[in-house]
Amino acid sequence: MIHLNQGWIYTDRVSQSGITLLEYYTQRYTHSTQQEWRDRIQSGAISINDVPVTDPETLLGSGQQLAYQRSPWAEPDVPFNVITLYEDNDLLIIDKPSGLPVLPGGRFLENTVWGWLRRQYVIPPVPIHRLGRGTSGVMVLAKTEKARSQLSKDLRDRTLQKRYRALATGIPDLDRFTVTAQIGKVAYPQLGYLYAATKTGKEAMSHCVVLRRDRCSNTTLLEVTIPTGRPHQIRIHLAAAGHPLWGDPLYGTGGIPINQTSIPSDCGYLLHSYELCLTHPTEGHSIRVRSHLPALLCLPDEVQGHEDSID
């Protein structure tokens, strides 16, 4: 039996007068075609100030409240084997599997970390940072507003530190290298835009250390730390350096899309957030958590399993 979710209501407030309802949605949500939005409007799926509207040419006024009622749909299957690595009254630190999105978007609503949290907690913890759907590993979430505020500040101040393992294509010449390609939005047919390496983007920095070179498979195991946290930064930066992630269906050499059909949530690459170091937001002690490493991202002498330490 096919399971349908509960559907979703997308709300917006109009900031510009004089454009039509159809123009607004076509420009605001570019992942759908103009005809698709026309059909939705004519079906009565969109309301203005709680009143359903079926004329696509309805003129909008500044301050009006729009709501699009998306009908229930069947979401793709995802792995839900989330592991709790650390938990107290303020924090939750989990190990997210590859294939599970963090937040709702596109085809996913309930089959997300957000949906899992809503089922597990009366008051769901709030993610402090995100991992891409295909990225696995350690994530920290706040269970109180005080913890959320402090951890968000620590993330901005770069005192909350994350280490990643990545399997990249090619053999870098240097044992250590830093990538500083700017990352920003570029036009993309399916979604309207996505993030890629671009000279008009925001500053970004990734430090990379070679752990193992495998010339037979033409791959390199890397440890990566990111002082900045741009969307899909490691995927883009390694590709920009000429070493795209092994199996990445989207980003190729140069840090740009290799085709116009893949999307950022497509999986296949090997990128794992394996270590998180932070200061407890209310008690002040240091916490270090390491997660289970996928076999292909392990060095021969590394022991499988997760560990945590509190100082």
Q: Which of 100, 151, 98, 102 shows the shortest CA–CA distance to 128? A: 151
Could you give the 3-state DSSP secondary structure of residue 3?
Answer: coil
CATH of domain 8-70: 3.10.290.10
Write the CB contacts of 180 (distance below 8 Å, at least 6 apart in sequence): 203, 204, 205
How much is the pLDDT for 143?
A: 98
* Nearest-10 Cα torsion for 35, 72, 263, 125: 140
- One DSSP character per residue, 125-176 reads -EESS---TT-EEEEEEESSHHHHHHHHHHHHHT-SEEEEEEEEES--SSSE
Average pLDDT, the chain: 94
When pLDDT is averaged across residues 80-94 and rounded to a whole number, the result is: 97
As a whole-number percent, the residues of the chain with pLDDT over 90 amount to: 87
Residues of each domain in the chain carrying CATH 3.10.290.10: 8-70
* pLDDT reading at 149 higher than 60: yes
CATH superfamily assigned to domain 83-310 = Pseudouridine synthase (3.30.2350.10)
Placement of tokens 């560990």 in the chain:
307
Name the DSSP class of 296.
Answer: G
Distance CA 162, CA 294 (A): 17
| pLDDT range class, residue 304, cuts 50, 70, 90 | low
pTM of the model as a whole: 0.88
* pLDDT reading at 310 higher than 70: no
Q: Which of 163, 168, 191 shows the shortest CA–CA distance to 260? A: 191
| pLDDT range class, residue 133, cuts 50, 70, 90 | very high
| pLDDT range class, residue 1, cuts 50, 70, 90 | confident
Q: Which of 296, 279, 297 shows the shortest CA–CA distance to 288? A: 279
pLDDT per position as a tens digit, 218-247:
999 999 999 999 999 999 999 999 999 999
Residues of each domain in the chain carrying CATH 3.30.2350.10: 83-310
Distance CA 17, CA 59 (A): 8
Give the Å distances, CA to CA, from 286 to 130, 277, 283.
21, 7, 9
pLDDT per position as a tens digit, 240-291:
999 999 999 999 999 999 988 898 889 999 999 999 999 999 999 999 999 9
How much is the pLDDT for 289?
A: 97
When pLDDT is averaged across residues 178-207 and rounded to a whole number, the result is: 93
Distance CA 100, CA 84 (A): 15
